[in-house]
């Protein structure tokens, strides 16, 4: 397929515009942010300082925000794994048209703006919303209830937003394996659950791992859904950064928070790249 071209001019000319663009618009901003996070206020001369990081590690408020972000992301990821694996398994072993319908079911919400999906959840979770109405009509609760400004509300909405990433990643790894090994296992006398446990599950581990790393990374940095559902009472990392940038204008601190979030993401993304690459072989 690839030409072992002795002339490097042609690919170089083709790739240069994109490379220059990425360096200027993607890598330079990242480095710039890194440097802003260790530079003090201009009033103090703007020298090297670790005060922004110190502020994060010494202020109980931010420790609470980071802890909440981490805890919610773990719950969201585990829920996505538990729902995502059976759904992906059913999808990959269904007849063609069922699979197409199910893929549509996953992709249509994924392609809809996160703002709109979150809006839907506000109407469902809020006072006088769908859940409240259903429970009230069923006589289970006397008054209107609301899951707005609760961690459960954030988890419910976030799982809906992120589940497609989990399902599509696991589906990819299941499709690469194919149903033949499962059939062989059944022919040799293994039962249905035995086959799932000893064949399908182990074979989809790379997909489950890379899917959940992706979901976790997206979850710790997600902004729209936690901000609108959780509101100011339940700030997460991304919301605090937005607050620093647009409200307090403390950009050095915002940069430090972003660098910490980026660090946490990279710790997850590097194994993700490793797992998803080895799964493809």
Partner 1 sequence: MVGGVPYGVKLLSVVLVAAIAIFMLVPLMVVIGSSVSASEFLVFPPRGLSLRWYGEVLQSDAYLSAAKTSVQLALVTVVVSVAIGTSAAIALTMFRFPGGSFLSALFLSPLILPSLIFAIGLLMVFSAYADGPSFTGLVVGHVVITLPYVIRTVSAALADMDPHLDEASRMMGASWWQRYLLVILPQCRTGMAAGAFFVFNISFDDAVVALFMRAPDVETLPMRIYSSLEFSPDPSVAAVSTIMIGITIVLVLVLNRVFGLARIM
The nearest distance, CB 275 to partner 1, in angstroms, is: 12
Contact call for residue 248 and partner 1 (CB under 8 A): no
Return the SS3 of 113.
coil
Distance CA 42, CA 38 (A): 12
- Whole-angstrom CA distances from 3 to 7, 14, 16 are 10, 15, 19
Contact call for residue 2 and partner 1 (CB under 8 A): yes
Torsion sign (Cα): 111, 217, 81, 239: negative
Contact call for residue 103 and partner 1 (CB under 8 A): yes
- Give the footprint of partner 1 on residues 16-55 (CB under 8 A): 17-19, 21-22, 25-26, 28-30, 32-33, 36
The nearest distance, CB 60 to partner 1, in angstroms, is: 24
Distance CA 56, CA 63 (A): 7
**Residue 17 vs 60, nearer CB to partner 1:** 17
Of 44-52, 53-61, 71-79, 210-218, the segment contacting partner 1 by CB under 8 A is: 210-218
Contact call for residue 234 and partner 1 (CB under 8 A): no
Return the SS3 of 47.
coil
Contact call for residue 139 and partner 1 (CB under 8 A): no
Distance CA 252, CA 240 (A): 13
Contact call for residue 186 and partner 1 (CB under 8 A): yes
Which residue among 14, 54, 63, 267 contacts partner 1 (CB under 8 A)? 14
Contact call for residue 143 and partner 1 (CB under 8 A): no
- Give the footprint of partner 1 on residues 81-100 (CB under 8 A): 83, 86-87, 90, 93, 99-100
- Give the footprint of partner 1 on residues 149-178 (CB under 8 A): 157, 160, 163, 168
The nearest distance, CB 137 to partner 1, in angstroms, is: 10
User: Please, how many CA atoms are within 13 Å of residue 29, restricted to the half-sphere of its CB?
Assistant: 7
Distance CA 203, CA 181 (A): 10
Contact call for residue 59 and partner 1 (CB under 8 A): no
Contact call for residue 140 and partner 1 (CB under 8 A): no
Contact call for residue 198 and partner 1 (CB under 8 A): no
Of 55-63, 67-75, 79-87, 201-209, the segment contacting partner 1 by CB under 8 A is: 79-87
CA-wise closest residue to 200 among 216, 180, 215: 180
For 130-164, the DSSP string reads HHHHHHHHTTS-SS----TTSHHHHHHHHHHHHHH
């Amino acid at each position: 397929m690839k030409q072992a071209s002795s002339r490097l001019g042609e690919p170089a000319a083709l790739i240069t515009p994109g490379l220059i663009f990425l360096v200027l618009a993607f890598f330079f901003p990242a480095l710039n942010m890194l440097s802003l996070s260790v530079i003090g206020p201009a009033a103090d001369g703007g020298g090297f300082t670790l005060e922004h990081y110190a502020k994060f590690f010494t202020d109980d408020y931010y420790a609470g925000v980071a802890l909440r972000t981490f805890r919610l992301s773990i719950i969201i990821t585990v829920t996505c794994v538990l729902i995502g694996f059976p759904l992906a398994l059913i999808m990959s072993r269904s007849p063609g048209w069922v699979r197409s319908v199910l893929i549509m079911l996953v992709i249509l919400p994924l392609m809809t703006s996160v703002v709109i999906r979150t809006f839907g959840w506000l109407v469902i979770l809020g006072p006088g919303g769908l859940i409240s109405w259903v429970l009230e009509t069923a006589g289970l609760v006397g008054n209107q209830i609301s899951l707005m400004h609760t961690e459960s509300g954030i988890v419910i909405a976030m799982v809906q937003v992120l589940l497609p990433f989990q399902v599509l990643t696991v589906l990819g790894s299941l499709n690469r394996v194919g149903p033949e090994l499962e059939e062989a296992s059944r022919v040799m006398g293994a039962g249905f659950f035995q086959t799932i446990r000893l064949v399908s599950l182990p074979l989809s581990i790379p997909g489950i791992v890379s899917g959940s790393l992706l979901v976790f990374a997206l979850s710790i940095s997600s902004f729209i859904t936690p901000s609108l559902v959780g509101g100011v009472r339940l700030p997460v990392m991304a919301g605090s950064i937005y607050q620093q940038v647009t409200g307090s204008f403390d950009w050095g601190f915002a940069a430090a928070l972003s660098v910490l979030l980026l660090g946490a993401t990279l710790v997850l993304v590097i194994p993700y790249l490793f797992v998803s690459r080895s799964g493809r072989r």
